[in-house]
């Protein structure tokens, strides 16, 4: 449990610190005074001033923060030219978006690392058997995992769609599959006679096999970062779309009076992190990528206290042609933060109840993911 807690805190800290580093670097580049860069959340237990910025270690050992001079109000501003509120809309937008961009980039890097180490998927014309159901026609006929199906009767098979179409044509009839298998480095061809079922069990096809035309390719080492970046970007976009779709579903549920089912708070994320960590380091890195993209999308939502909420005020400023009173914006962000904290506490309480009733992390996750 202690290891799981440390891993969870490490993952959460990495996500938040990368986000805050984005704000930090862009703010410094724009000439904004960064008063403090904190590791963990206050109260502060140690701090050292380097240049004009205090780098602090805080008592709550997760996450982090960046304190910008004049971040949400002009009250207490001693250096007007270096205050965030007095910078141009372009600069403020860049600073606010920097955290989101950094989280998205972290997602790409995480996915890219996984692809670089575990191989690159590529499409082939080899219809390969990757699973055989117990007691199925495929098992009875002698198909084994790793077999490549070349023909069904006399028809060449080069795609999963063609395989399924041909098998469906011969439901209830004997068919002969020409398959290739690799034995001790030698390719062997054999014929397998099977009888596709007309009414297979739920979750199984007529033959009871799982097939794919995707194989794992290991390019030269020097090429892997480029392949990893390409596929990592595709994965980041995919998960971004998935998160956006999930958010819309949550609002749809709320509009119909239903409680959202797919929300997870700190306890739920801790449980997921613990289970993923059991699988291995690559699975954990991949999960970090998913969480980082998730954090990027959530932060861009136009809700007060989030980066997207602050962006909303910049947009309103452009539309109205004048600045919104800083104290009004600060009050809106304070209310937004209170609402977010209440929501987090409510979700956490629900997750704790679920964890206690399930009796274990795995049981809790089964209930959440069902």
In a domain, 30, yes or no: yes
In a domain, 291, yes or no: yes
What value does the mean pLDDT take over residues 184-195? Answer: 86
In a domain, 101, yes or no: yes
What is the domain extent for residue 211? 122-217
Q: Please indicate, yes or no, whether residues 209 and 131 belong to a single structural domain of this protein.
A: yes
From CA 67, how far away is CA 77, in angstroms rounded?
13
pTM of the model: 0.83
Q: Please indicate, yes or no, whether residues 340 and 237 belong to a single structural domain of this protein.
A: yes
Residue 27: the pLDDT is 95
Q: Please indicate, yes or no, whether residues 332 and 244 belong to a single structural domain of this protein.
A: yes
Question: What pLDDT, in 10s, does the model give residues 295-336?
Answer: 999 999 988 888 999 899 888 988 888 877 777 887 888 888
In a domain, 11, yes or no: yes
**Nearest CA to 19 among 5, 6, 38?**
38
Report the run of H or E that residue 17 belongs to, with start and end.
helix 2-29
Residue 69's φ and ψ, nearest 5 degrees, are -65, 125
Where is mean pLDDT largest: 51-60, 63-72, 258-267, 285-294? 285-294
From CA 267, how far away is CA 352, in angstroms rounded?
7
From CA 165, how far away is CA 285, in angstroms rounded?
38
Q: Please indicate, yes or no, whether residues 187 and 108 belong to a single structural domain of this protein.
A: no
From CA 46, how far away is CA 54, in angstroms rounded?
10
From CA 283, how far away is CA 264, in angstroms rounded?
19
From CA 235, how far away is CA 331, in angstroms rounded?
38
From CA 161, how far away is CA 146, in angstroms rounded?
18
Q: Please indicate, yes or no, whether residues 184 and 49 belong to a single structural domain of this protein.
A: no
Model confidence at 260: pLDDT above 70: no
- Residue-averaged pLDDT of the chain: 87
Q: Catalytic one among 20, 36, 166, 329?
A: 20
Residue 300: the pLDDT is 92
In a domain, 293, yes or no: yes
Model confidence at 369: pLDDT above 70: no
Q: Please indicate, yes or no, whether residues 12 and 114 belong to a single structural domain of this protein.
A: yes
Which of 63 and 182 is assigned the larger pLDDT? 182
Domain total of the chain: 2
Q: Please indicate, yes or no, whether residues 93 and 146 belong to a single structural domain of this protein.
A: no
Tell me which of 188, 217, 246 is where a domain ends: 217
Residue 208: the pLDDT is 92
Q: At what angle do helices 266-279 and 326-358 cross, to 10 degrees?
A: 60
Question: What pLDDT, in 10s, does the model give residues 225-256?
Answer: 899 999 999 999 999 999 888 888 877 776 77
Q: Please indicate, yes or no, whether residues 82 and 144 belong to a single structural domain of this protein.
A: no
Q: Please indicate, yes or no, whether residues 73 and 136 belong to a single structural domain of this protein.
A: no
Residue 350: the pLDDT is 79
Share of the chain above pLDDT 90, in %: 48
Residue 317: the pLDDT is 86
- Please tell me what DSSP assigns to residue 118: H
What value does the mean pLDDT take over residues 275-301? Answer: 93
Q: Please indicate, yes or no, whether residues 96 and 233 belong to a single structural domain of this protein.
A: yes
Tell me which of 217, 249, 274 is where a domain ends: 217
- Please tell me what DSSP assigns to residue 256: T
Residue 37: the pLDDT is 93
Q: Please indicate, yes or no, whether residues 156 and 95 belong to a single structural domain of this protein.
A: no
Q: Please indicate, yes or no, whether residues 99 and 154 belong to a single structural domain of this protein.
A: no
From CA 108, how far away is CA 117, in angstroms rounded?
14
In a domain, 346, yes or no: yes
Residue 358: the pLDDT is 65
CATH number of the structural domain spanning residue 178: 2.30.42.10
Model confidence at 61: pLDDT above 90: no
Which of 3 and 361 is assigned the larger pLDDT? 3
In a domain, 222, yes or no: no
From CA 21, how far away is CA 37, in angstroms rounded?
9
Split at pLDDT 50, 70, 90, the class of 4 is confident
Tell me which of 193, 217, 241 is where a domain ends: 217
What 3-state DSSP class applies to 24? helix
Which of 348 and 136 is assigned the larger pLDDT? 136
Question: What pLDDT, in 10s, does the model give residues 78-90?
Answer: 888 999 988 999 9
Cα–Cα distances (Å) from 79 to 35, 37, 46, 88, 239, in that order, read 11, 18, 25, 15, 41
Spell out a b/e string for 43-57, using b for 16 or more CB atoms within 10 Å of the CB, else e. eeeeeeeeeebbebe
Q: 288 is written with which tokens?
A: 């970090």
Tell me whether residue 215 is one of the annotated catalytic residues: no
Q: Is-contact 12 62, C-beta < 8 A?
A: yes
Q: Is-contact 157 180, C-beta < 8 A?
A: no
In a domain, 223, yes or no: no
Residue 340: the pLDDT is 84
What value does the mean pLDDT take over residues 104-113? Answer: 96
């Amino acid at each position: 449990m202690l290891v799981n807690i440390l891993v969870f805190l490490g993952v959460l800290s990495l996500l938040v610190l990368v986000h805050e580093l984005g704000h930090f670097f862009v703010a410094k580049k724009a000439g904004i005074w960064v008063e403090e860069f904190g590791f963990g959340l206050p109260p502060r237990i140690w701090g050292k001033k380097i240049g004009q910025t205090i780098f602090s270690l805080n008592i709550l050992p997760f996450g982090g923060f960046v304190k910008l001079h004049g971040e949400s109000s002009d009250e207490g501003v001693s250096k007007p030219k270096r205050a965030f509120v007095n910078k141009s809309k372009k600069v403020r937008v860049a600073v606010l978006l920097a955290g989101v961009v950094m989280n998205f980039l972290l997602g790409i890097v995480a996915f890219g690392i996984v692809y670089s180490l575990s191989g690159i998927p590529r499409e082939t014309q080899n219809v390969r058997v990757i699973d055989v159901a117990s007691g199925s026609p495929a098992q009875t006929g002698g198909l084994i995992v790793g077999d490549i199906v070349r023909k069904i009767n006399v028809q060449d098979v080069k795609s999963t769609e063609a395989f399924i179409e041909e098998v469906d044509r011969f439901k209830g009839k004997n068919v002969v599959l020409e398959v290739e298998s690799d034995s001790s480095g030698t390719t062997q061809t054999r014929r397998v006679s099977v009888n596709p079922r007309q009414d297979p069990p739920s979750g199984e096809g007529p033959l009871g096999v799982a097939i794919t035309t995707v194989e794992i390719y290991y390019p030269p080492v020097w090429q892997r970062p480029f392949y990893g970046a390409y596929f990592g970007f595709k994965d980041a976009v995919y998960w971004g779309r998935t998160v956006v779709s999930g958010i819309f579903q949550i609002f749809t549920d709320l509009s119909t009076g239903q409680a959202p089912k797919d929300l997870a708070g700190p306890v739920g994320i801790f449980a997921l992190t613990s289970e993923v960590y059991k699988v291995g380091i690559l699975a954990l890195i991949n999960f970090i990528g998913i969480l980082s993209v998730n954090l990027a999308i959530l932060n861009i939502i136009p809700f007060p206290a989030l980066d997207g909420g602050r962006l909303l005020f910049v947009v309103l400023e452009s539309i109205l042609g004048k600045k919104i009173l800083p104290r009004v914006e600060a009050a809106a962000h304070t209310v937004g933060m209170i609402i977010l904290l209440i929501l987090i506490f409510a979700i956490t309480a629900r997750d704790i109840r679920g964890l206690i009733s399930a009796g274990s992390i795995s049981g809790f996750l089964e209930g959440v993911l069902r």
